């Protein structure tokens, strides 16, 4: 930063450049470049929003079911997302019939996951140390995140 204000000096310099015809011409980008810039900025904003939503979901899960991220290699894979939609509370997973949970996992993972993973998830849900106060509020937040 400058120590002294130079607005008046800058204005005089610009006026001289314009008067002498030495001011650089303003170049507008081509339409293609302008489109690419706009789309790049839009993509950047979407990526930022998705990252924020993922952090929000992880924060909620950390409160209500901190063991859940250990159930999947990535909390945001399709199978995990479908599981959270259908069984948003740990209690739901703890109480569901094991064969029903197994079938759900098998269907949504295209046969890759089954009874073994269902047992792990149910075991973690039964022993979770996540909070139970205001659980319905956190679950609602999770649904809309």
Average pLDDT, the chain: 93
pTM (2 decimals)? 0.75
Question: Whole-angstrom Cα distance, residue 69 to residue 9?
Answer: 60
**Polymer length in residues for the chain:** 145
Measured at the CA of 130, the angle between CA 124 and CA 134, to 5 degrees, comes to: 135
Q: Which of 136, 128, 142, 121 has its CA nearest to residue 54?
A: 142
Summarised one tens digit per residue, pLDDT across range 43-76 is: 999 999 999 999 999 999 999 999 999 999 999 9
* Residue written as token pair 């098998």: 106
State the pLDDT confidence band at 2, using cuts at 50, 70 and 90. low
Q: What is the mean pLDDT of residues 82-110?
A: 97
């Amino acid at each position: 930063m400058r120590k002294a204000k130079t607005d008046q000096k800058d204005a005089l310099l610009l006026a001289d450049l314009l008067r002498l015809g030495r001011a650089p011409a303003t170049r507008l980008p081509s339409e293609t470049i302008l489109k690419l810039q706009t789309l790049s900025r839009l993509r950047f904003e979407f990526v930022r929003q998705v990252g924020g939503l993922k952090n929000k979901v992880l924060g909620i899960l950390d409160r209500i079911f901190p063991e859940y991220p250990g159930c999947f290699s990535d909390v945001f894979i399709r199978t995990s997302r479908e599981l959270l939609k259908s069984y948003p509370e740990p209690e739901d997973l703890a109480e569901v019939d094991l064969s029903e949970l197994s079938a759900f996992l098998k269907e949504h993972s295209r046969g890759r996951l089954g009874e073994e993973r269902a047992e792990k998830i149910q075991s973690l849900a039964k022993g979770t140390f996540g909070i139970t106060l205001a659980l319905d509020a956190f679950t609602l937040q999770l649904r809309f995140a």
